[in-house]
Chains A and B, each alone.
Chain A
Amino acid sequence: MDHQITLQVDGERSALTVDTRTSLLDALRERLGTTSAKKGCDHGQCGACTVLLDGRRVNSCLVLAVTAEDQEVTTSDGLAADGPHALHEAFVDHDAYQCGYCTPGQITSAAGVLAEAAQGWPSAVTEDLTAERTELTDAEIRERMSGNLCRCAAYANIVPAVADVAAAQGVRA
């Protein structure tokens, strides 16, 4: 059944009519031509479709487009609106990808990790749960990025790429 919605994607508003079954990911890719977020598993397991929804990272394959009305959707492309984001630069500097298919999801997820760390959010590997400051150690980055799979196994370079930006943003010593 069709439903009329307005989506705000990377700063642009678009009105469109979608079948209620359409995922946010398919609305982005198939209707708006925004192919930054990728379809990997389509089950919320691989993280290739990660976008920021009102600044929070989510799997866009599990979000129905009709529920995303009036929320700001940001893809990896959107993070580069004013030139490459620090994460883009760090991924290039550290060769943090091979085929690159998972990279836009890795970038948006890492942006989410940095924002969560700035708010002092703990993770499953945080020793002191009551600490108000988050220190993004390598172990913390691995745990917090575990929702993003990389079939090329570029993990060894993704961790230092995220670590560089974390240090620059003051959430890593």
Chain B
Amino acid sequence: MREFRYEKATDPAGAVALLADAPEGAYLGGGTNLVDLMRLGVATPDVLVDVRRLTSDQVEELPDGGLRIGAAVPNADLAADLRVRQRYPLLAQALLAGASGQLRNRATTGGNLLQRTRCTYFTDTTQPCNKRAPGSGCGAVTGLHRNHAVLGATDEGPDSPHTCVATHPSDLAVALRALDAEVRVLGRDGERTVAMADLHRLPGEDPARDTTLAHGELITAIDVPGLPWAVRSRYRKVRDRASYAFALISVAAAMDLDGSTVRDVRIALGGVAHAPWRATVAEDALRGGPATEEAFTAAAEAELAAAHPLPDNAFKVPMATSTLVRTLLQISAEARA
């Protein structure tokens, strides 16, 4: 592990100032991903600015019935918050489906969104990876890619500096994407708000960048807007083990039913892309239509029509379709009960 200086600031602005002067520095939240990446030699900061106790660790009410989540709120505390469990079941379920009890106690809300892909070529410094070592190529696209992206990836072959088929690992981010959450960010020029839609990016021609945040920008809070019908929502995760594994496919969905008609719907998919994937094609197909298995299936298939699976992850396409259908059926069954 590279040697680093450990710094604590007295307030968020102080932390931002410290990192502005450290081009190779990084913020330290819970450290559950960063410390491991440093040990692996994947992350090599020369300064760590500890922000774990710097931003709010409280969940506060917003005027619209939504919640403001301090960036330092541990994942475990957020999942246990009764308001989250009552108003946004998909959010609590996404958090509880992630990691282990020990990790959820330590990991922060802000840090969860900024965790890096678990692609094994990214975490192995002896392998080519455009995300870790820009220009080195992609080992996954012709190698082990069973758990990789089927939507929105860049595949120009293993030697291209653009190729990246990594997936974003966060469950929480998928739920927040479905809920149209907004991320509050502090930088040198003050505070700005970034929609979840704009936080994570597809690899495009620059797979090294996971997010649109600039170096030194600090997440201070996440605003989840009020959405009364999110009480009927679900996060469904399919993985290789029953517990403590990353998603092969996950679905975050909320549905507002008027009798047997879909009044409104929110859907985001995990495990399919470099960013949480908002299923706008499926949403548009469903809105105003019947809440039937046939309609759910047609919408899911329309969303996945854009998929470009690799030889060993083609199973993800029917898995995403069926998981989405099952999730919507479950929500509609609960609504009728």
Contact = CB atoms under 8 A, between A and B. Distances in A.
Contacts of A129: 85-86, 89, 92-93
A57 B105 contact: yes
A130 B85 contact: yes
Nearest to A51: B102
B35 interface: yes
A47 B32 CA distance: 13
B295 interface: no
Contact of A20 (B4, B80, B92, B97): B4
B189 interface: no
Contact of B82 (A19, A56, A130): A130
B147 to A, nearest CB: 16
A150 interface: no
A19 B1 CA distance: 11
Contacts of A122: 79-80, 85, 92, 96
A57 B3 contact: no
B52 A59 contact: no
B19 to A, nearest CB: 16
A44 B4 contact: no
Contacts of B106: 58-59, 62-63
Contacts of B31: 62-64, 67
A101 interface: no
B50 interface: yes
Contacts of A109: 101-102
Given A1-B3, A20-B6, A132-B82, A67 B52 contact: yes
A147 interface: yes
B101 A113 contact: yes
A3 B80 CA distance: 35
A22 B79 CA distance: 30
A67 B6 CA distance: 9
B39 interface: yes
A19 B4 CA distance: 9
How many chain B residues sit at the interface, stated as a range, is 35 or more
A146 interface: yes
Given A43-B39, A119-B80, A143 B243 contact: yes
A147 B244 CA distance: 7
A64 B28 contact: yes
Nearest to A41: B36
Nearest to B46: A1
Interface centre among B3, B36, B50, B101, by most chain A C-beta atoms within 10 angstroms, is B101
A147 to B, nearest CB: 3
A148 B101 CA distance: 10
A58 B102 contact: yes
Interface residues of A, number: 41
A61 B38 CA distance: 12
Contacts of A144: 101
A74 interface: no
B133 interface: no
B35 A124 contact: no
A119 B1 CA distance: 38
Contacts of A119: 80
Contacts of B38: 21
A64 B85 contact: no
A147 B3 contact: no
Contacts of A35: none
B35 A62 contact: yes
A76 interface: no
B48 interface: yes
Interface in B2-18: 3-6
Contacts of B80: 116, 119-122
Interface in B311-336: none
A23 B35 contact: yes
Contacts of A47: 100, 102
A130 B86 contact: yes
Interface string A15-46: 00001110100000000000000000011100
Contact of B79 (A23, A121, A130): A121
Task: List 8 A-B pairs, minimum CB-CB distance, nearest first.
Answer: A147-B100, A146-B243, A146-B244, A124-B96, A121-B80, A129-B85, A20-B6, A56-B105
Interface of B: 1, 3-6, 28, 31-32, 35-36, 38-39, 48, 50, 52, 76, 79-80, 82, 85-86, 89, 92-93, 96-97, 99-103, 105-106, 242-244
8 contacts: A20-B3, A21-B38, A57-B102, A58-B102, A121-B80, A124-B93, A129-B86, A145-B101
